[in-house]
């Protein structure tokens, strides 16, 4: 049997079609439960713009049922030993690893990203995170401090309770894992609301791992933000809210949480600068080639990564040499069927995001930015004709333009030049965002000094996939952790 979405446009080897049901219910209390309203909504694959499944349309009543199940499970789950929780997390990791190819393909169908990314990055990182937190919880230690000869204080770690977790659509399974794994490791119970654009892959995961955990420990309610996400974020029955998504939505969630006096963890937007110092061009060697590759990472995951380079700052003395190579590398990015083995960049996650990116391209042109590559949708043929494909695009302009200041969240990067390190720092910091940044230099002094003066504290020589142990900071208005 051929791969579900593969036709003549896919070079993938023939494989068994991933088993995707016609519709999925919520997962509450250890079983799949129909939505209280009886309503379902279509899940459209970005690959071809066609409906491939339906998801339960959750509402406040469904959220309350999930919270009931989580609260019922919490007293016993919170008392489970760290050894037992570690064992179960490792078992989840084993199941994901055993079903990695199937989950990677379903994630690609659900989200539109290239299979090479879901197979080599997203799903392996899910496995890694569950195993990491399985190890972390076994190494957890309390602390004792002596105040005087008669008094000591003991600090014990205990689970917060039931937590609400709202997942974005750019990394559906990986972002869910980022939130679920540490919560379960800590002894918390969770109610998860995945993005309405990508609700299917996590429900397939629940079919695989649901019976590993006691009923009610992990609950998933699908639906729209206002109908299901807001009741979860505003509930007085959650001890904490974790959210990844747009800054405007994050502000609302922080407001809701403040009314209930509960902590929040939020990762919001980014407009990540990558600074390429003059020394990058000192030689045409492996380092120079790696710097070019780093710049082209703006197209990773179709640019739907908050820490991808979205602003490139190049020293004016190396601009021509450097950008000539960057443009050539960008134009060599192969687009095609996301399930094809040789496709490098797939489809945008939804039609709304597709239209948003195209509108920003129009804004850039109206602002007078120069199009160095791309600048339009990618007109693919056959079964992909109605998919959401956009050419990787490079604009040259200045940092006051909207395309430099506002998060586009697509395969679009904005390029400008600088003369001095001070000017580069000023441009890099001239944004409301401060999530991540990159610095490229052969000078060790620059690599140490410039990050200290940048508001993008994620500044690094390279921009790797984040490891389990990577730390974030409180920066400007983007990453909030408490």
Active site residues: 267
| E strands present in 37-117 | 40-45, 50-56
**CB of 348 within 8 A of CB of 361?**
no
H or E, element range at 94: helix 82-98
Dihedrals phi, psi of 60, to nearest 5 degrees: -60, -40
Sign of the alpha-carbon dihedral angle for 404, 267, 197, 97: positive
Cβ contacts of 240 within 8 Å, gap of 6 or more: 160, 161, 163, 164, 188, 262, 263, 264, 265
Length of the chain: 482
**CB of 162 within 8 A of CB of 242?**
no
**CB of 474 within 8 A of CB of 480?**
yes
H or E, element range at 294: helix 286-296
In this structure, what token pair is assigned to residue 71?
Answer: 């609260």
Rg (CA), the chain: 23
Dihedrals phi, psi of 236, to nearest 5 degrees: -80, 0
For residue 115, what is the DSSP state? H
Place of tokens 């998860």: 192
Sign of the alpha-carbon dihedral angle for 455, 461, 467, 470: negative
The stretches of 309-453 forming alpha helices (DSSP H) are: 319-331, 351-366, 402-405, 421-429, 444-452
| Spatial CA neighbour of 104 closest among 92, 94, 116, 95 | 116
Q: Are strands 218-220 and 189-193 parallel, antiparallel or unpaired?
A: parallel
For residue 353, what are the CA distances in angstroms to 47, 198, 248, 253, 447?
14, 13, 16, 22, 35
């Amino acid at each position: 049997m051929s791969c579900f979405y593969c036709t003549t446009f896919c070079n993938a080897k023939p494989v068994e079609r991933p088993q995707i049901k016609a519709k999925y219910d919520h997962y509450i209390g250890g079983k799949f439960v129909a939505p209280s309203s009886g309503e379902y909504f279509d899940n459209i694959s970005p690959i071809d713009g066609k409906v491939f499944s339906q998801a339960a349309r959750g509402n406040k009543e469904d959220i309350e049922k999930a919270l009931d199940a989580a609260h019922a499970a919490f007293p016993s789950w919170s008392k489970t030993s760290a050894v037992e929780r570690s064992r179960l997390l490792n078992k989840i990791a084993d199941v994901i690893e055993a079903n990695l190819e199937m989950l990677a393909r379903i994630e690609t169908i659900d989200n539109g990203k290239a299979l090479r990314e879901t197979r080599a990055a997203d799903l392996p990182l899910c496995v890694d995170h569950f195993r990491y937190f399985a190890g972390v919880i076994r190494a957890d230690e309390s602390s004792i401090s002596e105040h005087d000869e008669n008094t000591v204080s003991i600090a014990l770690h205990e689970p917060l309770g039931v937590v609400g977790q709202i997942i974005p659509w750019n990394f559906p399974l990986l972002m869910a894992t980022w939130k679920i794994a540490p919560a379960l490791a800590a002894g918390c119970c969770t109610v998860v609301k995945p993005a309405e654009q990508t609700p299917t892959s996590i429900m397939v995961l629940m079919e695989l791992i649901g019976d590993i955990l006691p009923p009610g420990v992990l609950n998933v309610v699908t639906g729209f933000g206002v109908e299901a996400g807001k009741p979860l974020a505003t509930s007085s029955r959650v001890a904490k809210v974790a959210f990844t998504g747009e800054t405007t939505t994050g502000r609302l969630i922080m407001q809701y949480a403040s009314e209930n006096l509960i902590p929040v963890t939020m990762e919001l937007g980014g407009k990540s600068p990558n600074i390429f110092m003059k020394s990058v061009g000192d030689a045409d060697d492996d380092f120079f080639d790696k710097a070019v590759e780093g710049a082209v990472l703006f197209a990773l995951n179709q640019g739907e990564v908050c820490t991808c380079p979205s602003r490139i700052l190049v020293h004016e003395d190396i601009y021509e040499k450097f950008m000539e190579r960057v443009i050539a590398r960008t134009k060599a990015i192969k687009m095609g069927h996301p399930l094809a083995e040789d496709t490098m960049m797939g489809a945008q996650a939804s039609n709304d995001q597709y239209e948003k990116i195209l509108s920003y391209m129009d804004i850039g042109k109206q602002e007078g930015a120069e199009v160095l590559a791309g600048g339009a949708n990618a007109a693919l043929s056959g079964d992909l004709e109605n998919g959401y494909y956009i050419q990787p695009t490079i604009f040259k302009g200045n940092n006051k333009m909207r395309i430099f200041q506002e998060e586009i969240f697509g395969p679009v990067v904005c390029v400008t030049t600088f003369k001095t390190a001070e000017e580069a720092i000023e441009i890099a910091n001239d944004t409301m965002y401060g999530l991540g940044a990159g610095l490229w230099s052969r000078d060790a002094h620059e690599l140490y000094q410039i990050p200290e003066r940048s508001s993008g504290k994620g500044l690094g020589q390279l921009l790797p996939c984040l490891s389990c142990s990577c730390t974030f900071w409180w920066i400007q208005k983007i990453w909030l952790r408490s």
